[in-house]
Amino acid sequence: MKSNNNFYNSASVYYDKMIDFDSALQKRKILLSNFVDDKIKSVADVGCGTGVDSISLSQLGLNVTSFDPSAEMINTARTNSEKHNCKIDFQNFGANEIPKTFYNRFDLVVSLGNTLANIPFTKIEKSVSKLFKLLKKDGRVLIQILNYEKILKEKERIVNITKKDDEYFIRFYDFGKKDLTFNILKFISDQTKKKELISTKIFPYTSKEFKKVFKEAGFKKIELFGGLDKKAFDPKSSNDLVLFAHK
């Protein structure tokens, strides 16, 4: 079992191939445009990973500052941003570690790709409070995690199976009492004995828990969606839980 940072440091080597970065970039840019208007000029991407959301937001004309606790993910994101000619300020901090120098600087804070589900129950309140403090007056926050109400009920272990060239990537869960173990199994089709398996803990927040912690942090007009396309959230059937709120 790896710590969260070490897990994503390890995954950074092949992460873009696993998610099909270029395809994800085009889709994300379209979806994020649903939440961007003329009032938004600056954005913080918390848990930026290899930069797909940061680059999408930069290409939408925003000034982007990106945070991630994984140094290797940040390095890959920086390379990707240079490849796409985007000027993004990358910072190696987790959500609950972001310094006060970044407070009150952003019109929008985004944290997508299941980032907040990687934060332990003991740290989630502090992390959400940080997101609140990053925002200017009347700023907004956009969060996306998986719908764990559906996942915990169905107990479906397989998250995703991806094949790229001759490599397979299988993402799957082991179910614990209060948390989940998230695994990535990687192997080459004709060399299955050389498989690589990495694992870390995931914390399955429900929509009620999520809404409560954001309300307590001071957020108002909290809306829940079943995806970045703004479809209605259904705890029984939605694959994603998206939260959009104002400071």
Residue 59 belongs to domain with CATH number: 3.40.50.150
- Chain segment 200-217, per-residue pLDDT in tens: 999 999 999 999 999 999
Residues 187 and 108 placed together within one structural domain of the fold: no
Q: Residue 130 in contact with residue 219, Cβ under 8 Å?
A: no
The answer to whether 15 and 49 have CB atoms below 8 angstroms apart is yes
Predicted local confidence at residue 120, as pLDDT: 95
Instruction: Give the pLDDT of residue 88.
Output: 98
**How far, in Å, CA of 118 to CA of 39, rounded?**
30
User: 155 with 138, same domain?
Assistant: no
Is 219 found in the same domain as 187?
no
Question: Could you tell me if 70 and 159 lie in one domain?
Answer: no
Mean pLDDT of 217-239: 97
pLDDT of residue 59: 97
Confidence of residue 189 (pLDDT cuts 50, 70, 90): confident
pLDDT at residue 178 in the model: 84
Asked if residue 15 and residue 98 are part of one domain, the reply reads yes
* Residue 13 confidence (pLDDT): 94
State the first-to-last Cα distance of the chain, in angstroms, to the nearest integer. 37
Average pLDDT on 185-198 reads 87
At residue 229, the pLDDT reads 96
In a shared domain, residues 112 and 225: yes
One domain for residues 84 and 114: yes
Q: What percent of the chain has pLDDT over 90?
A: 94
Q: Count how many domains the chain has.
A: 2
pLDDT at 191: 78
Q: What is the rounded CA–CA span in Å between residue 109 and residue 220?
A: 14
The tokens describing 121, both together, are: 């129950």
> Strands 63-67, 240-246: parallel, antiparallel or unpaired by DSSP?
unpaired
Across the range 107-111, mean pLDDT stands at 98
Structural domain boundaries, residue 188: 150-202
Tell me, what's the pLDDT at 29? Answer: 94
Confidence (pLDDT) at 194: 83
Largest Cα span, the chain: 56
Q: Are residues 110 and 36 in the same domain?
A: yes
Pick from 34-43, 123-132, 143-152, 189-198: least confident? 189-198
Q: Indicate if 208 and 229 belong to the same structural domain.
A: yes
**pLDDT the model gives residue 47:** 97
In this prediction, residue 177 carries a pLDDT of 86
Within this chain, do residues 217 and 96 fall inside the same structural domain, yes or no?
yes
Q: Are both 96 and 193 inside the same structural domain?
A: no
Beta-strand (E) ranges in 17-127? 42-46, 63-67, 88-91, 106-111
Are 220 and 239 part of one and the same domain? yes
